[in-house]
Chain A
Amino acid sequence: QKEVEQNSGPLSVPEGAIASLNCTYSDRGSQSFFWYRQYSGKSPELIMSIYSNGDKEDGRFTAQLNKASQYVSLLIRDSQPSDSATYLCALRANQAGTALIFGKGTTLSVSS
């Protein structure tokens, strides 16, 4: 069983819409959760971190965490073409020390 699951997409949304990216994980002991954005040919860039159940908002981005359902999501409001990238969900599993475990990523395409 894969530890971090993401739908690879592509997820296509029109400009101005809300993009919803989802991630599930298998280790109930996971403590910390992250969303990274990776443009094609570039390195991952941290955009959100979340540690507690509930929502965390930062500008147009909202991360949602539900530990009981082992589910993390990222909402992007007012999507822009510049948001077109691969979004990687990552977590620090309880048994993995400080290493991060990444999902395969979801490719988002925002059309103008």
Chain B
Amino acid sequence: DAGVTQSPTHLIKTRGQQVTLRCSPKSGHDTVSWYQQALGQGPQFIFQYYEEEERQRGNFPDRFSGHQFPNYSSELNVNALLLGDSALYLCASSLRGTGEKLFFGSGTQLSVL
């Protein structure tokens, strides 16, 4: 049973560039959430997708956008990258209606230079 998979594992970009991160949820899960974890901090909620729509959003600017596909996989896009966007980006999947037990992927480490 495959867990949550994310790609790429590491990414280096420069300020102003755009980046796309990808996530495949755990088998049987239909909800994908994205979190940003800065060094020494806890994960911070970006947004959640269910039935291909953004259902909930945290306190992040519009530069952060996402998408969910019919197979439940998801993408996180960040435009006009800032140095402060450097962080570990975590995808978490869950099954709607079964509570908030999230299963996290291994994350994508984004460095913005």
Q: Give A residues with C-beta under 8 Å from B.
A: 4, 8, 32, 34, 42-46, 49, 88, 90, 92, 96-105
Q: Residue of A at shortest CB range from B46?
A: A99
B97 to chain A, nearest CB (A): 10
B42 pairs with A102, CB closer than 8 A: yes
Which of B90, B100, B104 has most chain A Cβ within 10 Å?
B100
Residue interface mask B25-43, A partner, CB < 8 A = 1: 0000001010100001111
Instruction: Count residues of chain B with CB under 8 A from any CB of chain A.
Output: 24
A7 to chain B, nearest CB (A): 13
Known: A4-B42, A88-B42, A102-B42. A97 touches B55 (CB 8 A): yes
A102 pairs with B55, CB closer than 8 A: no
A43 pairs with B90, CB closer than 8 A: yes
Known: A88-B42, A88-B43. A99 touches B33 (CB 8 A): yes
Known contacts A44-B43, A98-B48, A98-B56; 11 further A-B pairs (Cβ under 8 A): A8-B40, A42-B106, A43-B90, A43-B104, A96-B45, A98-B33, A98-B94, A100-B43, A102-B35, A103-B42, A104-B42
B8 to chain A, nearest CB (A): 15
30 residue pairs A–B, Cβ–Cβ below 8 Å:
A4-B42, A8-B40, A32-B99, A34-B100, A42-B106, A43-B104, A43-B107, A44-B104, A46-B101, A49-B99, A88-B42, A88-B43, A96-B45, A96-B56, A97-B56, A98-B31, A98-B48, A98-B55, A98-B56, A98-B100, A99-B45, A99-B56, A99-B58, A100-B100, A101-B45, A102-B44, A103-B42, A104-B42, A105-B41, A105-B42
* B105 is an interface residue with CB less than 8 A from chain A: yes
B-chain residues with CB within 8 Å of residue A98 when the two chains form the complex: 31, 33, 48, 55-56, 94, 100
Bound form: Cα–Cα A59–B99 in Å: 22
Known: A34-B100, A43-B105. A99 touches B40 (CB 8 A): no
A101 to chain B, nearest CB (A): 7
B61 to chain A, nearest CB (A): 17
Query: Which one of A8, A44, A99 contacts B90 once the chains associate, using CB atoms below 8 Å?
Result: A44
A42 to chain B, nearest CB (A): 7
